[in-house]
């Protein structure tokens, strides 16, 4: 099983106080970022990823989520990893990397392996120093990911998107409720205590014509 969480002896009693155990465990297992444990927890809780699936990963750099997803979908799956920044991590022959801005890339440019079984977005803005501006940008990235899912996610498919907590959270959750039968909000254990992020998980994408 990929991405083994920190062992009981490594893991602090309160991971929010000493989150470095997650960073060390990620590096020890060859993942570039501790964020892998967030996806691993979401996967474990909602049974997200399976062999043979087609996955779109938006905001994929430096590559931990894509590495994890590529292992879970195996050689029979397909993965498209997209980020503004270059991605140097290797995900295997089932993966293709696109460097670009998800806000301006067309849905066609993201459709290489569509329809997708899973759309992931861990996209986050570079922090600007303004909490309000960062929240607004995070909402924009989240809503773009939902729009991409609306265009490219298969009926029955699943969505995971990161958003910074703000007044817009309810609008974001409603947009996902419009798309998926079941919506959950998850704040994984590996999230830093100071972080304002939360993940909205949409399960069972509604069939076309059944949204709303």
Ligand X SMILES: C[S@@+](CC[C@H](N)C(=O)[O-])C[C@H]1O[C@@H](n2cnc3c(N)ncnc32)[C@H](O)[C@@H]1O
The residues annotated with a catalytic role in the active site are 162
Which residue's structure tokens are 């909602």? 46
Contact 111, 46 (CB under 8 A): no
Site string for ligand X, 135-174 (x = CB under 6 A): ------x---------------------------------
Residue 123 in tokens: 């996209």
User: Quick check: 191 binds ligand X (CB under 6 A)?
Assistant: no
Q: Is 84 in the site for ligand X (CB under 6 A)?
A: yes
The CB-of-7 to ligand X minimum distance in angstroms stands at 21
Query: Is 65 flagged in the annotation as binding?
Result: yes
CB nearer to ligand X: pick between 85 and 211: 85
What's the first-to-final CA gap in the chain, in angstroms?
37
Tell whether 43 is in a known binding site.
Answer: no
- In angstroms, the CA 193 to CA 19 distance is 8
Nearer to ligand X, 136 or 204 (CB): 136
Nearer to ligand X, 63 or 202 (CB): 63
Shortest spacing between CB 73 and ligand X, in angstroms = 16
Closest by alpha carbon to 206, among 151, 142, 157? Answer: 157
To the nearest whole angstrom, how small is the minimum distance from the Cβ of residue 9 to ligand X?
25
Residue partners of 82: CB distance under 8 A and separation at least 6: 56, 57, 58, 59, 60, 97, 98, 99, 100, 102, 105, 110
Place of tokens 């910074």: 164
What would the x/- binding string for ligand X be over residues 94 to 133, using CB under 6 A?
Answer: -------xxx------------------xxx---------
Task: Report which of 74, 35, 43, 28 is spatially closest to residue 190, judged by C-alpha positions.
Answer: 35
How deeply is 63 buried, as exposed, middle or buried, from its count of CB atoms within 10 A (0-12, 13-18, 19+)?
A: buried
Q: Least separation, in Å, of the C-beta of 41 and ligand X?
A: 13
Binders in 63-82 for ligand X, by CB under 6 A: 63-65, 82
Known binding positions for S-adenosyl-L-methionine: 63, 65, 83, 101, 122
Using CB under 6 A, list all residues that contact ligand X. Answer: 32-33, 35-36, 59-65, 82-85, 101-103, 122-124, 141
């Amino acid at each position: 099983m990929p991405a083994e969480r920190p062992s009981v002896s490594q893991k602090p009693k309160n991971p929010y106080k000493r989150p470095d155990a997650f960073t060390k465990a990620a590096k020890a297992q060859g993942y570039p970022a501790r964020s892998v444990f967030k996806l691993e927890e979401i996967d474990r809780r909602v049974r997200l990823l399976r062999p043979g699936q087609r996955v779109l990963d938006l905001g994929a750099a430096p590559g931990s989520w894509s590495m994890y997803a590529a292992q879970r979908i195996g050689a029979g799956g397909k993965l498209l990893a997209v980020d503004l920044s270059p991605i140097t991590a290797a995900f295997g022959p089932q993966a293709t990397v696109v460097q670009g801005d998800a806000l301006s890339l067309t849905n066609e440019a993201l459709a290489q392996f569509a329809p997708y079984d899973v759309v992931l977005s861990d996209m986050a803005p570079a922090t600007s120093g303004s909490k309000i501006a960062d929240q607004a940008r995070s909402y924009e990235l989240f809503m773009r990911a939902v729009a991409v899912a609306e265009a490219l996610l298969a009926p029955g498919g699943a969505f995971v998107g990161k958003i910074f907590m703000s007044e817009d959270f309810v609008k974001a959750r409603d947009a996902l409720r419009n798309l998926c039968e079941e919506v959950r909000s998850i704040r994984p254990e590996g999230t830093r205590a100071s972080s304002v992020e939360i993940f909205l998980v949409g399960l069972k994408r509604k069939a076309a014509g059944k949204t709303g």
